[in-house]
Structure 1
């Protein structure tokens, strides 16, 4: 089995330590020769990198090389895989996005509604630059992108790189949900075979089977209604916000019992309720800054100070494991099934072909081979078409620098709906994002 050369782009992320632990956990499936960190923020990257050195010394001694750099050529030359997890503007801009939305009575969330639009407009240009940089120095590398908001980023990359067959956009949220299904069933996530359709953060599980072909969907629904639903992934299991989010699945399943919903649908189906439970002074971004970010940085400081991982509480999370299993299937042509984001092209037969849809696919060395979904029902189709129009208008606006299309996008979005409110939110977001967004045409 060939050992791979991996570069992690955006390695200063608070998710990177979990990714490293996942690489260690999964090394028999995805063995590495080298790991390289690349980030434009040298200070943030250095803390995570020095902690990573300690972990790798203890737990991955067979790794030939670990380096970190802010130099593109050094980072990407010779790479087989690039895992991309950038956050343009950082958590500080995320907090502003959320606060602006909430001040106007709209959902304040990272990837949904106005926050998703703002983050998407910040991400597109940097993601295009990353792909161009990787392709300059590693023309044959797989680029696995899980930069949010994945739907908007995937649509932009589809337009910018229509012939690049080695870019794959993925999200770990379906996997995080499946971890909880597996707990209910007394199984491992890798034992489950999902049927799923939608857009990123906007989809439904139609069925869950085991590898022997037994249908488990009704058992999951019954357990959720009778016993509740909780997060089980190590990264979110004790997070109060995520606990509330998973609990909301019970409500969604009661109101719309046909399919098992992605947790993010709560923002679109119950936007008023989502606004009411949020605090503009303590948004989700602020909770992450005071919670996960603080915890990870303290962990890094401990690892660096101790010079050993022996006393550190290190967790393997599904975020990393899912990405690594995807990479392994691509690298070694195993054809395993994962939920990924691909161009529709008839997969959902009553949805436009150029939609970037999230569906199960067999992953081979030739890329994803998605499974046909067929026609979807009117209710789900209607919701998807509205969200898809929002996403496409946002990308249109980035390319065309068009204020009007952003106003149309926000007015369409189920978290906003009201045109005057959409305009107020948009104008405030423009002011806060003037260092990141393209300069838009006049109103």
Structure 2
């Protein structure tokens, strides 16, 4: 089985490789291909991965030799390894050629960052300079990121469709919801967006109740939203909703990072637990003031921190150790502007997006069902190929939602959820309408649609601010200026 990672020079790629190599779910992957347009970053990460592989072999967690090919198209199909002795270290290939990377892939994991951390700093600073929220995926910065990324993501999807039409694409490229929606226009249901924040929230609640929400058939999960805008509204056990008892208990809420972020009284008033990114919508002024008061934005912090790491190059001694220390600092300072305390170790620890990706791959490759929260179409194709019933009847069939799904060998099957409240429907509709205007601008080069997207975002809502944002991003991003130059 071949897994291709797009954005293979990305800082968190070793996490994906380790999860795949150790086979936490039992799935065997024979080859991992790292693709990136930045050859220096690619070689640095490849050196980290090489050293990580040597450590895994030395610790006895995997074998030292690569195994034979399995997966779709091979005799016998995908196999589950029985243990470390039976699991071989995946063969590692690095390349800057997209077609070479994707050809023959069974799974493609897309985690590209168009413009790098430097591009993110422009996204953040333009918004902050206008008194607006500057954040990577939330607010106008997220729209600018999408405008830069969608043309690249669409070209990637077209290449996959041409040279690996049977591959499944797992998208983690941010902003994940609208980028997945763009890629679905080419790849249909064979592209799925992932994020680790929703399932992390569900698992925190499950631990308090002494159960595994994803592996217990007695448990029902009512989570609904868009990527980085969602709510856990019920967690039932044998039909009884156990979430109210959690909301009523201060000690329980203190163990849930999302509740600490937005306040115990507020989650009780909502009757639901929010995705952590809702902080930016509920406490917009506070978040903006904290970011503005900081010496650096998150993008500037990452550009400096990871720039220092990559400057060491592939020949640096002990790159794995330095990568790990850099990673811990990165995770500990994640969304620092949302907290009045240092991040707790239990909030940092967890499976992360690499586990979500591996579980998704395993369920599709082996047919062993998994329950997950994924970014999928509101009305994915049914067994006959015709669109199925919409998960949310009020929203367009092709709109990408973040909902509980069952994944198996036949694909991804969204589960039914309860009706949306008016405020939930309003927030989701307003945000996705803005993002869809940006999507149209990215695909057509329409400056007017870009203006509409920026002006109507729920954290902007100003025609003049939308115009100023558009002009600021055109000045700060030559690729945006070139994209919109013809309209």
TM-score (norm 2): 0.78
Among residues 259, 262, 268, which one is paired with 2:281 in the alignment?
A: 268
Among residues 389, 397, 406, which one is paired with 1:362 in the alignment?
A: 406
Question: Who is 2:373 aligned against?
Answer: 339
Give the direction of change, closer, same or farther, for the CA distance of 1:49–1:437 in structure 2 (3 Å limit).
Answer: farther
**1:246, distance to aligned residue in structure 2 (A):** 6.4
Among residues 105, 113, 133, which one is paired with 1:107 in the alignment?
A: 133
Question: Who is 2:173 aligned against?
Answer: 147
Task: State the alpha-carbon separation in 1 of the partners of residues 246 and 174 from structure 2.
Answer: 29
Among residues 181, 192, 195, which one is paired with 2:205 in the alignment?
A: 181
Conserved? CA contact 1:6–1:36, under 8 Å: yes
Give the direction of change, closer, same or farther, for the CA distance of 1:45–1:28 in structure 2 (3 Å limit).
Answer: same
Aligned pairs for 1:8-19 (under 5 A) are 8-19=5-16
Q: What per-residue deviation string (whole Å, max 9, x for no partner) do you get for residues 302-357 of structure 1?
A: 9x624987996798741211111111111111221111112213201232323211
Question: Who is 1:305 aligned against?
Answer: 317
Q: Secondary structure at the match of 1:305?
A: coil
Among residues 319, 322, 336, which one is paired with 2:356 in the alignment?
A: 322
Q: Secondary structure at the match of 2:223?
A: strand
Question: Who is 1:57 aligned against?
Answer: 54
**1:168, distance to aligned residue in structure 2 (A):** 1.4
1:36 and 2:24 equivalent?
A: no
Conserved? CA contact 1:361–1:368, under 8 Å: yes
Give the direction of change, closer, same or farther, for the CA distance of 1:377–1:114 in structure 2 (3 Å limit).
Answer: same
Which has the higher mean CA deviation after the structures are superposed, 94-103 or 61-70? 61-70
Conserved? CA contact 1:151–1:199, under 8 Å: yes
Conserved? CA contact 1:9–1:82, under 8 Å: yes
Among residues 299, 303, 306, which one is paired with 1:285 in the alignment?
A: 299
Give the direction of change, closer, same or farther, for the CA distance of 1:311–1:426 in structure 2 (3 Å limit).
Answer: closer
Q: Secondary structure at the match of 1:135?
A: helix
Question: Who is 1:137 aligned against?
Answer: 163
Which has the higher mean CA deviation after the structures are superposed, 43-52 or 28-37? 28-37
Q: What per-residue deviation string (whole Å, max 9, x for no partner) do you get for residues 277-297 of structure 1?
A: 112641121233345x36865
Task: State the alpha-carbon separation in 2 of the partners of residues 82 and 28 from structure 1.
Answer: 18
Q: Secondary structure at the match of 1:198?
A: strand
Question: Who is 1:412 aligned against?
Answer: 456
Conserved? CA contact 2:34–2:95, under 8 Å: yes
**1:182, distance to aligned residue in structure 2 (A):** 4.4
Q: Secondary structure at the match of 2:403?
A: strand
Which has the higher mean CA deviation after the structures are superposed, 347-356 or 89-98? 347-356
Question: Which segments of 5 or more consecutive residues in structure 1 lack a partner in the other structure?
Answer: 232-244
**1:437, distance to aligned residue in structure 2 (A):** 5.5
Which has the higher mean CA deviation after the structures are superposed, 372-381 or 82-91? 372-381
Q: What per-residue deviation string (whole Å, max 9, x for no partner) do you get for residues 101-155 of structure 1?
A: 1111111010111111110011111111222222333221111111000122122
Conserved? CA contact 1:329–1:363, under 8 Å: yes
Question: Who is 1:236 aligned against?
Answer: none
Question: Who is 1:241 aligned against?
Answer: none
Conserved? CA contact 2:248–2:268, under 8 Å: no
Among residues 10, 21, 27, which one is paired with 2:18 in the alignment?
A: 21
Conserved? CA contact 2:184–2:191, under 8 Å: no
Task: State the alpha-carbon separation in 1 of the partners of residues 146 and 320 from structure 2.
Answer: 39
Give the direction of change, closer, same or farther, for the CA distance of 1:436–1:252 in structure 2 (3 Å limit).
Answer: farther
Conserved? CA contact 1:55–1:309, under 8 Å: no
Question: Who is 2:230 aligned against?
Answer: 203
Task: State the alpha-carbon separation in 2 of the partners of residues 433 and 308 from structure 1.
Answer: 33
Question: Who is 2:85 aligned against?
Answer: none
Task: State the alpha-carbon separation in 2 of the partners of residues 17 and 43 from structure 1.
Answer: 16
Give the direction of change, closer, same or farther, for the CA distance of 1:316–1:173 in structure 2 (3 Å limit).
Answer: closer
Among residues 169, 189, 208, which one is paired with 2:193 in the alignment?
A: 169
Task: State the alpha-carbon separation in 1 of the partners of residues 290 and 322 from structure 2.
Answer: 40
**1:433, distance to aligned residue in structure 2 (A):** 1.6
Question: Who is 1:242 aligned against?
Answer: none
Which has the higher mean CA deviation after the structures are superposed, 136-145 or 247-256? 247-256
Conserved? CA contact 1:196–1:206, under 8 Å: yes
Question: Who is 1:235 aligned against?
Answer: none
TM-score (norm 1): 0.85
Which structure has more relative contact order (CA 8 Å, sep 6+)? It is: 1
Give the direction of change, closer, same or farther, for the CA distance of 1:57–1:316 in structure 2 (3 Å limit).
Answer: farther
Q: Secondary structure at the match of 1:203?
A: strand
Q: What per-residue deviation string (whole Å, max 9, x for no partner) do you get for residues 405-428 of structure 1?
A: 222222221211222222112210
- What is the RMSD of the two structures over their aligned residues, measured on CA atoms? 3.0
Question: Who is 1:395 aligned against?
Answer: 439
Q: Secondary structure at the match of 1:54?
A: helix
Question: Who is 2:96 aligned against?
Answer: 70
Q: What per-residue deviation string (whole Å, max 9, x for no partner) do you get for residues 178-237 of structure 1?
A: 343345445567457532111111111112246x66643124323467653555xxxxxx
Task: State the alpha-carbon separation in 1 of the partners of residues 247 and 12 from structure 2.
Answer: 31
1:48 and 2:75 equivalent?
A: no
Task: State the alpha-carbon separation in 1 of the partners of residues 96 and 480 from structure 2.
Answer: 20
